[in-house]
Amino acid sequence: MIEKKEQDILLKDVREQISAVLEHRAPQFLPVDSPQLARKRGAFVTLRRNGALRGCIGHIRAIAPLRETIRELACSSAFEDPRFPALTLAELGDLEIEISVLTTLKEVAGPEDFHPGHDGILIDNGRASAVFLPQVAEEQGWDRNQTLSHLCLKAGLRPMAWAESGMHFFTFQAQVFS
């Protein structure tokens, strides 16, 4: 569990990292001694502007300490999300930041073990994979079958590919804050 003080640090780090890149300067982060922020965790950074998605990039699996991961994802979300042009300095003031800190992936027996709105989901058939954060199904108003069908489309598969043999399902939860 990431405490409020640590959440605030991570949110400030995202804004500082993006600001520093846009202003062509070195970022200046507050020194913090926090075991939670030093722990390796998967995470996503989601950026919105005026309520509309502006970038979202993450790591499902833990590959680096959380604070380091968040800083990297800040830049990726702002400047490398292929769905959007790079963020500009003019947009910075309107930027809304959301961070999702993930639990470890857990393989489940099948789609019946996925609970939209509570679980995030990753599907993988060995050739293609895709992931949705826990909040996606709820934000879109999708039930389990709709979520899985949209996830298959995201992976470049037929909508009902989730019901075929050979599909693997992994769930996770997220602590989301903005």
Residue pair 173/130 in contact (Cβ under 8 Å)? The answer is no
For the chain, what are the domain ranges?
4-102, 106-173
Scored b (16 or more CB within 10 A) or e, 35-66 reads ebbeeebbbbbbbbbeeeebbbbbbbebeebb
pLDDT of residue 109: 96
- Measuring CA to CA, which residue among 88, 90, 138 is closest to residue 116? 138
pLDDT of residue 13: 98
Torsion angles phi and psi, residue 55, rounded to 5: 170, 145
CATH class of the structural domain 4-102: alpha beta
Strand, helix or coil for residue 153: helix
Q: What is the pLDDT of residues 106-134, one digit of tens each?
A: 999 999 999 999 999 999 999 999 999 99
pLDDT of residue 1: 87
Q: How many CB atoms lie within 10 A of CB 91?
A: 17
pTM value is: 0.90
Q: Over the chain, what is the mean pLDDT? A: 96
Structurally, at CATH architecture level, domain 106-173 sits in 2-Layer Sandwich (3.30)
Average pLDDT by stretches of 10, the chain with 178 residues: 96 98 96 94 96 95 96 98 96 95 96 95 96 94 97 97 96 96
- Would you give the DSSP letter of residue 157? S
Residue pair 166/128 in contact (Cβ under 8 Å)? The answer is no
